[in-house]
Structure 1
Amino acid sequence: MPKVSSGRRRETAAVNALRALLESQDHIVQDIDQRNDFGEDLYVQFTEGREVTGDVIKVQVKGGTSWRRVGGYGVPVKGHAAIWADGNIPVICVVHDPKTERLYWANATEQLLAARRELVLLKSIFVSEQDVLDMHSLDDFVAETRMYVNRYRGNQAMRTQLSEMSGAEFDPSDVVLHFINEHGEDIVFWQCRGEGFATLLHSDLGWVPEYVGPEMLRFERFESQPGLGDVPVLGETILNHAEALWVAACFAATSWARQPAPDRQHADIRADVADNYVQRQILRRLSAEPDLLVRSAAALRVVSHLEPDMADELSELEGDADVVEEALEASRETWSDMSFEAKRLVILYLVDRIVIGAPTDPIDRQIRITWRVPRQPSA
């Protein structure tokens, strides 16, 4: 005859103990169908004065003494790290020890996010033996957990709003910071984990991404406006002093996120970042060197050997007189309205090759452009 495993009995006892405790105070406990079990056993919706609050957590429940560790218990993370850390609902781990007949708890989401900031790969959630969950501590548990739920939910809501405003798509693991200047303009500082640069998005500049690093924050004097004194500049963006202080604080606060990430490989960069960066460098050179396209097209003519695919593409693009005319008139002012074909022809004329470096390099070293015509030395 089939037998029921002792492990199943322990897990059931743990779930029942937690359910009984929570339901004794009118909190709502709902089982998660084990066919849909991705590391959580229960949904818990908190109530207050028997009224539903809308504050919800997910709970991973473990039972038995095998989870015992020095000073407490360990709940394996296994493949649940991303879901527990980046989901829309925080995850709490609860352990039931049949020897003490007590429940113990820990905030798995909080621990995973803290470990991520320290670039630590957490393999288990530590549940302290000091964090007992019983009738005496239940009110404190509910208050602390609800506070975390609201902070977590508020942060997610703000990220969603900033994403809708700027058109950027933030990954759950990205660090996204927000500033409103004295003119009511929104600025977003966006740091992806493992990237050696950050992205600055400014509402007054049409949310066009500026890829920046701490080494790019500087002070300049403009001869045309000597009364301004030292003006803070980040990349190509002029800031006021309050914005500069905020950006400097953002760089300091996110230095950990620019360190190598375990899941980022060498020569790995987002395609949109590479495209935007190359286009900005092209426009910068076109502004500084009006005859650059003519010189670059001439340099391309004397190349002894072109890759067959490139030669075919160049021949097709140059076979359309309208595309050639549009490309040769490329400038910062016309770029946004140019056709894809004309932009592509400009890139073929100007760029010999692009080499992608390590993800943690600053943006100008991570994306290295070899131009057909080298830059002219500054006067």
Structure 2
Amino acid sequence: MPKVSGSRRPATAAVNALRTLLERHYHIVQEIDQRNDFGADLYIQFTQDREVTGDIVNVQVKGGTSWRRRGGYGVPVGDHAAIWADGNVPVICVVHDPRTDRLYWANATEQLLTARRELVLLRTILVSKEAVLDEQSLDDFVTETRRYVNRYRGAHAMRTQLSEMSGADFGPSDIVLHFINYVGEDLIFWQCRGEGFATLLHSDLDWAPEYVGPEMLRFDGIDGHRRHGAAATLGDTILGDDEAMWILACFAATAWAREPAPDRQHASIRAEVADNYVGQQIVKRIEAEPDLLARSAAALQSAPLKDPEVRELESDHDIVDEAMGATKETWQYMSFEAKRLALIYLIDHVGIGAPTDPIGQQIQIAWRVPDRPGRT
């Protein structure tokens, strides 16, 4: 007599668990005939207040303990990469673990597009053990997934394309402006409400964020009387005339957004902005002063008390060698421990000013060895 595959039972249990949860909240679930299974097991059409929304996702469902990985679960991409990444309908991966009797989920389309932008060939969709899908988290899951479904509709379309192109995570109230220069390079001007600076993203600079303000824009004769060799600049970025005029217009159009926002607290700043800005300033000083790390480490050694964290980091000679060898080229690739030790050597503390201050005033770096006067 024919035998039922051993994988059929956990797979069926996984589909049933997901279907039961969704249908209990009036979402529409359509199971795909296994003869037509090309990377999806279910269609889900979301509802709101029992009304059909038209927002649809495909779902790949896995059941059993064999999908467990460190930190969660893994769903093989196999030969579905192109369909999951570029199809008209996003794909969600859901894993059912019979040991916990819980569902866990991940956005497969989002992970694949992120990996592609970073030139990584993703073979497995990672499903975090923290991404539980149950009665308590279902509303958040539906909201987040529907927002992703709608990313290419209406006014969201251009913002989504710019986000996927640059890797930036734009907020719903952020102002995002786009420009293509005469050689086809993309520039993005990104202004968050209530922040006293904007972020410039440039494709020719590998989308590295440059935190800028109107006071940093220098024209140097752009009025038609340019001196030989002069160029418009914005911070460390050299601009063409067309780019400079566009940046000027962006600053003028978004001046109101740099005013205080009622929901922004004093002395608050996005963590990634602070980290990136401090790192940029460190790289500039290291490049200008090759002996800076040695002088900073010596200054710390002469301090009356040494933090236990420093003693622990310095106990590993490899960490010390890596930290002391930091350069502009190696900074972003350094280990967390070496970068942390270099930060402690170089910086005594960082003060945070008002959100509407220019970036250089908002993030105030107190160096272990004072910065040289007049250095830019």
TM-score by length of 2: 0.58
- Amino acid in the other structure paired with 1:232: A
Contact kept? 2:232, 2:240, Cα under 8 Å: yes
Instruction: Report the counterpart of residue 347 of structure 2 in structure 1.
Output: 351
Indicate how the Cα distance of structure 1 residues 373 and 269 shifts in structure 2: closer, same or farther if over 3 A, else same. same
Within the candidate set 290, 299, 318, 1:322 is matched to: 318
In the alignment, what sits opposite 1:365?
Answer: 361
CA distance in 2 between counterparts of 1:256 and 1:242 reads: 24
- The answer to whether 1:192 aligns with 2:192 is yes
**1:121-164 Cα deviation digits (max 9, x unpaired):** xxxxxxxxxxxxxxxxxxxxxxxxxxxxxxx9432100000000
2:345–2:368 CA contact under 8 A, matched in 1: yes
Change (3 A) 1:378 1:364: closer
One-letter identity of the residue aligned with 2:266: H
CA contact (8 A) 2:178 2:186 kept: yes
Q: CA deviation at 1:328?
A: 1.1
Question: Residues 54-69 of structure 1: matches in 2 within 5 Å?
Answer: none
Q: Write the distance in 2 (CA, Å) between the matches of 1:360 and 1:227.
A: 37
Give the distance between the partners of 1:88 and 1:376, measured in 2 at CA. 48
Q: Which residue of 1 aligns with 2:295?
A: 295
Q: Is the 8 A contact 1:177 1:189 kept in 2?
A: yes
Secondary structure at 1:330 match in 2: coil
Distance 2:342 2:352 in 1: 20
* CA shift for structure 1 position 366: 0.5
CA apart distance, 1:299: 0.6
- Please list, as runs of the form range in 1=range in 2, the aligned pairs for 1:6-45 lying within 5 A after superposition: 34=49
Distance in structure 1 (CA, Å) of the matches to 2:184 and 2:264: 36
Contact 2:258 2:356 in 1 (8 A): yes
Residue in structure 1 matched with residue 159 of structure 2 by the alignment: 159
Q: Deviations over 1:217-262 (max 9, x none)?
A: 01359xxxx7323x11001100001000000100000011111111
Q: How does 1:226-245 map to 2 (within 5 A)?
A: 227-229=228-230, 231-245=231-245
Question: Where does residue 331 of structure 2 map in the other structure?
Answer: 335
Aligned partners of 2:279 and 2:48: how far apart in 1? 50
2-structure distance, mates of 1:316, 1:259: 44
Q: Which amino acid aligns with 2:241?
A: H
Kept in 1, the 8 Å contact 2:219–2:244? The answer is: no
1:250 alignment partner in structure 2 = 250
Match of 2:261 in 1: 261
Amino acid across the alignment from 2:228: G
Q: Answer whether contact 1:219 1:232 (CA < 8 A) is retained.
A: yes
CA contact (8 A) 2:266 2:355 kept: yes
CA contact (8 A) 1:88 1:156 kept: no
Structure 1: which amino acid aligns with 2:175?
V
Q: Deviations over 1:173-217 (max 9, x none)?
A: 000000000111110000000000000000010000000000000
Shift of 1:33: 5.9
Single out whichever of 312-321 and 352-361 deviates more from structure 2.
312-321
Whole-angstrom CA distance in 1 between matches of 2:336 and 2:216:
31
Amino acid at match of 1:159: R
Q: Letter of the aligned partner of 1:352 in structure 2?
A: D
Aligned residue type for 2:187: I
Partners of 1:88 and 1:153 within 8 A in 2: no
What secondary structure, in the 3-state scheme, does the structure 2 residue paired with 1:344 have?
A: helix
Deviation of 1:352 after TM superposition, in Å, equals: 0.2
1:245 is aligned with what amino acid?
M
Structure 1 position 301, deviation (Å):
1.1
- Number of matched pairs: 237
CA distance in 2, matches of 1:42, 1:276: 43
Q: Read off the aligned partner of 2:353 and give its amino acid letter.
A: G
CA distance in 1 between partners of 2:315 and 2:148 (Å): 53
Contact 2:197 2:258 in 1 (8 A): yes
Q: How big is the alpha-carbon RMSD for the aligned residues of Structure 1 and Structure 2? A: 2.9
Please tell me whether residue 177 in structure 1 is matched to residue 177 in structure 2.
yes
1:354–1:368 Cα contact (<8 Å) kept? yes
Distance 2:365 2:218 in 1: 24
The 1:33/1:280 distance shift into structure 2, 3 A limit, reads closer
Matched residue, 2:284: 284
